[in-house]
């Protein structure tokens, strides 16, 4: 049996399959099977109130998950799917509250990685899939990262090489005609605004800057210091003076497709502190800044 048939077979038996997407690796379970969802949450270590994204193979399949698809949703799906955009829509009645964290909305996306699409089409159903890391940790962008985090708890790992985008999808609430970005990601604010011809605000960036309210997430074990590029050397020197083992990241290390691998490498090298240069907050840089701030955690 080839890997894909094994994966499909496994999903039908309520198993868990890790698969590559263009953003990060996902940990997939049949979104229609309670037993599979229960195991997914257990392995992920995720609170049941935290919703997961439903991955599907076509716009039609996404519509089948939703109750009403706005004009904005229609246009964005047409332009960006398959691709790194997740749309939050009103959920169809069949979509389990286990997937939505008890809410009446569901997040759906059609990923563009060929192996993800092959899996979704061969399986023929919706896959609930969070990133294939333990809750709160750095997302995996290679099959080795998945093995390092979840080995033994996942039935099949499909290896599609390193993820090309490297940060998660953009999550956009399209339940109204004035969509709002809930998480910056692989599709940029500029691209969304160009398609919709209207401002598309990022929700929550203000509160993320409020000291103490920043949730620690996407975090390596090392402490992360994010500073303007010109201050990197001084920040590193100050940490070294305190005796800390410091890993300095370069501008290339914090490009989206390198970011998570760089943070993981810092942990492997035993760094206590990671000093990272803050990228410009535009285009994909917005997603990188968001993840670095979350990795840095509340101060
Ligand atoms: O790129 C991605 O989106 C990756 C790949 C595997 O597709 N997936 C991913 O999933 O990042 P996860 O579970 O790590 O993050 C999903 C995010 C969570 O922050 C969750 O709160 C949000 O999506 N989300 C899911 N359903 C939602 C809903 N109905 N309303 C608002 N946010 C939702
Ligand atoms: Mg995640």
Whether the Cβ atoms of residue 29 and residue 46 lie closer than 8 Å to each other: no
Task: State residue 299's pLDDT score.
Answer: 60
CB distance 14 to 39 below 8 Å? yes
Q: Does 39 score more than 50 pLDDT?
A: yes
Q: Is 141 in the pocket of ligand 1 (CB under 6 A)?
A: no
Task: Assess whether the C-beta atom of 105 lies below 6 angstroms from ligand 1.
Answer: yes
pLDDT tens-digit map of 10-29: 999 999 999 999 999 999 99
Judging by DSSP bridges, how do beta strands 223-227 and 246-248 pair with one another? unpaired
CA atoms 162, 297, 221, 236: torsion sign: positive
Q: Give tens-digit pLDDT for 105-161.
A: 999 999 999 999 999 999 999 999 999 998 878 999 999 999 999 989 999 999 999
**Predicted local distance difference test score (pLDDT) of residue 218:** 80
Residue range 221-236: mean pLDDT, rounded: 97
Of 51, 96, 117, 256, best ligand 1 pocket probe by most atoms within 8 Å of the beta carbon:
51
Model pLDDT, residue 104: 96
pLDDT score of 214: 46
Question: Distance, CA 243 to ligand 2 centroid (Å)?
Answer: 32
């Amino acid at each position: 049996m080839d890997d894909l048939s094994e994966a499909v077979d496994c999903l039908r038996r309520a198993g868990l399959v890790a698969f590559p997407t263009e953003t990060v690796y996902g940990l997939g379970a049949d979104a229609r099977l309670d037993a599979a969802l229960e195991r997914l949450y257990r392995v992920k270590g995720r609170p049941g109130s935290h919703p997961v994204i439903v991955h599907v193979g076509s716009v039609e399949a996404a519509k089948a998950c939703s109750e009403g698809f706005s004009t904005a949703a229609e246009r964005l799906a047409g332009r960006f799917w398959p691709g790194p955009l997740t749309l939050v829509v009103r959920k169809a009645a069949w979509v389990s509250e286990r997937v939505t964290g008890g809410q009446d909305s569901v997040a759906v996306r059609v990923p563009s990685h060929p192996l993800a699409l092959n899996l979704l089409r061969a399986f023929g159903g919706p896959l609930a899939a969070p990133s294939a890391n333990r809750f709160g940790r750095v997302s995996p962008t290679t099959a080795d990262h998945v093995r390092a985090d979840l080995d033994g708890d996942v039935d099949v790992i499909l290896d599609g090489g390193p993820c090309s985008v490297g940060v998660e999808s953009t999550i956009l609430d399209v339940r109204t005609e004035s969509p709002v970005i809930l998480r910056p990601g692989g599709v940029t604010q500029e691209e969304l605004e160009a398609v919709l011809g209207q401002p598309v605000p990022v929700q929550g960036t203000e509160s993320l800057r409020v000291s103490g309210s920043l949730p620690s997430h996407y975090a390596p074990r090392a402490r992360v210091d994010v500073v303007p590029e010109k201050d990197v050397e001084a920040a590193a020197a100050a940490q070294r003076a305190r005796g800390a083992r410091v890993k300095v990241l370069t501008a290339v290390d914090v490009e989206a497709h390198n970011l998570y691998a760089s943070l993981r490498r810092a942990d492997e090298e035993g760094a206590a502190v990671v000093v990272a240069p803050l990228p410009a907050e535009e285009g994909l840089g917005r997603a990188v800044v968001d993840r670095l701030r979350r990795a840095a955690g509340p101060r």
